[in-house]
Every structure is written in C-alpha cells, then in structure tokens.
Amino acid sequence: MLLLVPFILSKDETILIYNNPGTFYWESNVSGEIMVLVVAGGGGGGGRYYGGGGGAGGVVFHPRYYVSIGNLYKIVIGGGGGGGASGQKGNNGGDSQFDNIISIGGGGGSFTAGNGNDGGSGSGGSSCCGEAPYRGGYSINGETYGGEYYGNNGGSGVQQPDPAKDGGKGGGGGGAGGPGLTPPSYNSAPGNGGPGKNFSSIFGRSFGVNGVIAGGGGGGGYHFGIGYGGIGGGGNGAQEKNNGINAVANTGSGGGGAAHGSSVGGNGASGLVILKIPIMPTRSRYVKSLNFFVILVSTLLMNPT
C-alpha cells in the first residue's frame, strides 16, 4: 500500500511518507530546505543451515536538502530481499533514492559456511559442522550529499567444534543503530540483529515501529535459543527446523536466519522515503510513474477571515 497522505505536525510543516516499492515523482511547492529520510530495503535472512540474519537497509538523513519550486524530484523505494531457500543465501534489499541521495539495500544473510553479504548494513555470517566461522557482511555507504549515513556490519557465525555433528550459529544482521552480534560461543543463542535508528522526534511515530526503522535480522541455530531481530522491525532467527521470521513491513529491516532441516530465511522489509516540508499557500502534486495513478493534494493553509 502507498501511504501518501500529508499530515501536519505543526502549523508550519507537513510530512509525506512513501512506503510502496516503485518509482515516484514529487513536484515541489517550495523553494528552500526540506528534511529528507531515505531508507533502503532490508536483506533477507539466510536459508539452512544456520542462516545469518539479513542486514537492514542503509539510511540517509539529510536535515537541509535544497529544493526548487516547480521541479520534479525522483523517488525510488527499494523492495525487501527475499529470504534464502534451503541451502541458499538471502537476497539483498533494493536501493532507495530521493533525487541525488541514495541508500544501499541491506545484505542478504549467509548459510551453512559463508561470509555475509555486504550492503547498507551487512548481513550475518554462518558456520557449520567444524568449518571455521565466517564473517558478517560489511556496511556500504550510499550517496549522502551532505547528509548523515547510518549502516553497520553484520556479526560472524560460530562453528560446531565437532565436524561429525550438526550445529552452528548464524550471526546477526547489522542495523542502522548498531552492528549485528556474533554469538559468544557454540553453547549460546545465535547472534541478535543490530538495533534500528529512532527518528520519531523528527518525523513523528506514524511509520516504522513507532518511528524506529532499519533493525537487523537475528541469526539462526540448532540449539540454545534464537537470535532476536533488532528493534525497529528486524525478524527473529529460527532454531531446530523452523523458518526465519519476516521483518516488519515498510521498515527497511532485515529478515531472520533459518535453522535446520529444509528451513528458509525470513524476508526483508521494503524501504521508505519521508519528506518534511514547510507549508506554503499553494498546492503540490504527487505523480506515480509507470501509468499507475496520480494523486493530487491541495493544502489550504489559512481560512479567509
């Protein structure tokens, strides 16, 4: 669903939230500085065995991005990466964009014995059956154009020391607010996903999880509990023969890693773009590309006396 209903935080500003994957255009009704939040899609959790958690999509916050009245600005919302099938890595999330600002999609989680994928936040690594632990994915910066970029590395996997036995632990995916965790030992739960970032004080609480977005997915493992998804929407990892949990929709968070058997990783969540715009006594038009639809919003700022 596309949420594109301006709501007023005060008499001087309004908020636009785009959260449906696809390409859009916004025609500015102001000349001046606006606030912009760009969140990429989260990566999917890794499939069995012992998948790493998906990395959260990268986040760019620009507090003073200059726009000109009448200009069209391109908006792209990246989709969430699909969770890895049994014996496969999760898929990376899609990039998101506002004009020249680009956030990178989160890394897809590893499986069995492999490094996590790099992305806006890196995914968790994995390990199995006497293999050496594999590292989590690294964070990749996007195009900030003077804004602030948020992304972190994923945690490493932990191996079962006896190659004749099943076992292993996936690392947590990185979140916008912190790295994914590496399990402290084989006899512990898998790694938790990194926490997301709280923007409620700037853009309100009507998006993400009460204004928190881009949590990393938790790692999967055979015994000793699960890796929990990071605050802000990260999916929990699995244990035994269960599937990883999907990330909370429209948060840019990573999916949880799978466990044993034929289990699959959880899906990452699509990203979003939020604009905080000074109210002006004119109208704005919001155009959906690809011949879908046009939404026209007219805002009257003051009633005639």
Domain presence at residue 304:
no
Domain containing residue 78:
1-298
Cβ-based neighbours of 302, under 8 Å, separated by 6 or more? 281
Q: Which has the minimum average pLDDT: 57-66, 147-156, 164-173?
A: 164-173
Mean pLDDT of 55-74: 97
Domain presence at residue 214:
yes
Domain presence at residue 132:
yes
Q: Which has the minimum average pLDDT: 67-71, 88-92, 107-111, 287-291?
A: 287-291
pTM for the complete prediction? 0.88
Domain presence at residue 305:
no
Domain presence at residue 259:
yes
Domain presence at residue 4:
yes
How many structural domains does the chain have?
Answer: 1
**Residue 228 pLDDT exceeds 90:** yes
- For residue 164, what pLDDT is reported? 52
Domain presence at residue 202:
yes
Task: State the pLDDT confidence band at 187, using cuts at 50, 70 and 90.
Answer: confident
**Residue 296 pLDDT exceeds 70:** no
Average pLDDT along the chain:
87
Residue 171 near residue 216, CB atoms below 8 Å: no
